[in-house]
Amino acid sequence: MADRLRLGLVGCGGFGKELAAYFLEVADIAALCDPNPAGMAATAGALHLDVPRFTDYRAMIAAGGLDAIAITAANHVHAEITVAAAAAGLHVYCEKAMARTVPECWAMVRACQKNNVRLMVGHKRRLRMPWARAIQLTDDALLGQVLSITASIYADNRPTGFFGTWWADPALVGGFFHAHGVHVIDWFRAMCGDAVKVTAMRGPQHDSRYLYPDILHATYQFKSGALASICGGQSFPLHEFKESEVPWGECRNGGFKLMPYRDHIDLHWQRLDEQEPHRERFDDPGVDHAFRLEAGDFVRWIQEDRPPCLTWVEGLRCVEMMEAAYRSAAMDGQLVTLPLYPELEDQ
């Protein structure tokens, strides 16, 4: 391996270009891949990259010269790209959601284990400073163990341009929470630990251009006994996406609420033995910090064998929590227990 990790970027849309800028601080991007040549050209130009370009990830892998790949392509190709890269001995960074289903996630994990390569799934929300601070508050000396959380994620997602794309098709994206809610569900697990039960209900279809239920409510129970519920829709005109993910939590020693605004995030919290609440304002939402932590840890994990902030576990368990909610909603709220595929756990 060269002194700097040689990375291939698979997926050169807006997010791929954004993520690549952080990887360039700690690694070399040695190849680009996207079925859209114009997207590759725009990414190459923005990042001043003069590297080989491929429209097929298989050709990029076969060309050699890489140590790892970063996947920011559509959800439905995450598994096949990861399996192919692992078979070629390449380490894999994959953006969330890890895949559409738990079996796809396990296929990725087993391929990387078989070929002794690293697999990290990017879940930056738990690493961003306001959300990471809420995790810190669960220390016994502060608010203590989480007992319950409720998160509202109603948003106006019309400006995202989902309609007519893979983002609106469950066969390609996975479902409602894959498109809107994946951040919060992973953060639930960071706050509460592993989930053991879920029940979910879908509401009336609001916009038929989404091919999955576009109003969904789910409640999780965790091994600790804590409860977390998430409710949302995608046609709520009063919230932009960045304003929409609003969690409130009751803890053993007090409670908290996160209030996101367009230009900052407020974290309010108070212990039961205090008379006045704390208010912590975050003008920096922590996106840069989270991306740099992910990229740096991925490289150090490969080159120095240093334990990273994330592995594949967070990605797989988040997909499991989402898929379990879809299964429950399809059965009119029937209780679903986790793990969702016990037969895959110890293969």
210-259 pLDDT, tens per residue?
Answer: 999 999 999 999 999 999 999 999 999 999 998 999 999 999 999 999 99
Q: Provide the pLDDT confidence category of residue 3 given band limits of 50, 70 and 90.
A: confident
326-337 pLDDT, tens per residue?
Answer: 999 999 999 999
- Tokens (6 digits) for 55: 């429209």
pLDDT at 345 over 70: yes
Asked if residue 42 lies in contact with residue 18, where contact means CB atoms within 8 angstroms, the answer is no
Q: What mean pLDDT value characterizes the chain?
A: 97
State how far the Cα of 159 lies from the Cα of 244, in Å rounded to an integer. Answer: 14
For 144, what's the count of Cα atoms within 13 Å in the CB-facing half-sphere?
Answer: 10
- What does the radius of gyration of the chain's CA atoms come to, in whole angstroms? 20
Class of domain 6-124+289-310: alpha beta
184-199 pLDDT, tens per residue?
Answer: 999 999 999 999 999 9
pLDDT of res. 42: 96
251-297 pLDDT, tens per residue?
Answer: 999 999 999 999 999 999 999 999 999 999 999 999 999 999 999 99
Report the percent of the chain where pLDDT is more than 70: 99
323 to each of 88, 266, 319, how far by Cα in Å?
A: 30, 31, 6
Q: Cβ of 329: how many Cβ atoms within 10 Å?
A: 24
pLDDT at 52 over 80: yes
Task: Quickly tell me which residue has 């939590």 as its tokens.
Answer: 249
- Tokens (6 digits) for 207: 């916009």
Residue 26, sorted as left (phi over 0), alpha (psi -120 to 50) or beta, turns out to be: alpha
Q: Which residues contact 243 (CB under 8 A, 6 or more apart)?
A: 155, 260, 261, 262
Q: Where in the chain is the domain with CATH 3.40.50.720?
A: 6-124+289-310
State how far the Cα of 338 lies from the Cα of 322, in Å rounded to an integer. Answer: 11
pLDDT at 1 over 70: no
Strand order across the beta sheet in which 91-95 lies: 53-54, 28-33, 6-10, 68-71, 91-95, 119-122
Fold for 125-284+320-337, please state it.
Dihydrodipicolinate Reductase; domain 2 (3.30.360)
DSSP conformation class of 177 = H
What is the average pLDDT across 30-40?
A: 97
What is the average pLDDT across 31-42?
A: 96
pLDDT of res. 347: 80
What is the average pLDDT across 151-165?
A: 95
State how far the Cα of 51 lies from the Cα of 46, in Å rounded to an integer. Answer: 13
pLDDT of res. 232: 97
| Residue whose C-alpha is closest to residue 11's, from 48, 45, 46, 36 | 36
For 91, what's the count of Cα atoms within 13 Å in the CB-facing half-sphere?
Answer: 20
pLDDT at 91 over 70: yes
Report the percent of the chain where pLDDT is more than 90: 98
Q: Where in the chain is the domain with CATH 3.30.360.10?
A: 125-284+320-337
